[in-house]
Amino acid sequence: MDIKKEKETMETDISLVMDIKTGNKQALGRLVERHKKLAYQIALGLVGNRDDAFDISQEAFLRVYRSAKTYDESQPFLPWFYRIVVNLSRTWLKRRTRQRKRMVDVDDNAYLLVDTHDPEQDLIKAEMISCLNRALLELPFEDREIVMLQHFRGMSYDEIAGILNIPRGTVMSRLYYARKKLAKLMERSNNG
């Protein structure tokens, strides 16, 4: 999340939520257009399945509509929205664990893709993606969450601290441990 962009859009996001509070569905539509891909990507990073990420992103907007009255307009919109998506993803994973299907569907093994176009290294990259996919999904939820926010959303520590409601120092130490676990899991995945 880009702070400058967030500041530019904050007013409009907030005014849209204020309109949603009055039951304005068109305002919800405009908010959806702004943030639908963001919601999908956060959910995808946490649950690792495209179909479920899509459903979670939609459920998040329904929550915004239903919970708009609890939104504190003195606060920026995006951290609030992030927390909704993160909590829904956590609930979804818990449900999956209860159903003894903790891992993602085996068919959906391509939720991460290489962002470059270098055919010479395609094979190496394919192997790396495979390792990273497996390692990320084995990572505990709290670790995956912070890795997703920093590595894949490119958020600053202050932004992460705001979203997760933790001190900056905790962001740093949580990132340290999450990376240690991820590196270990990747190594294991590589050897196995």
CB of 165 to other proteins, least distance (A): 8
Which residues contact other proteins by CB under 8 A?
25, 28-29, 32-33, 36-37, 40-41, 44-45, 50, 54, 58, 61-63, 65, 67, 70, 80, 83-84, 87, 90, 110-116, 125, 128-129, 132, 147, 150-152, 156-157, 165, 169, 172-173, 175-177, 179-180, 182-183, 186
What count of Cα atoms within 13 Å lies in the side-chain half-sphere of residue 179? 9
Least distance CB 6 / other proteins (angstroms): 18
The pair phi, psi for residue 167, each rounded to 5°, is -65, 160
> Cα(33)–Cα(28) distance, rounded to whole angstroms?
9
Say which residues have a Cβ less than 8 Å from residue 144's Cβ, sequence separation at least 6: 45, 46, 136, 137, 178
Residue 150 sits at the vertex; the CA angle it makes with 115 and 57, to the nearest 5 degrees, is: 75
Least Å from the CB of residue 12 to other proteins? 18
Q: What is the distance between the alpha carbons of residues 113 and 78, in angstroms, rounded to a whole number?
A: 25
Least distance between other proteins and beta carbon 125 (Å): 7
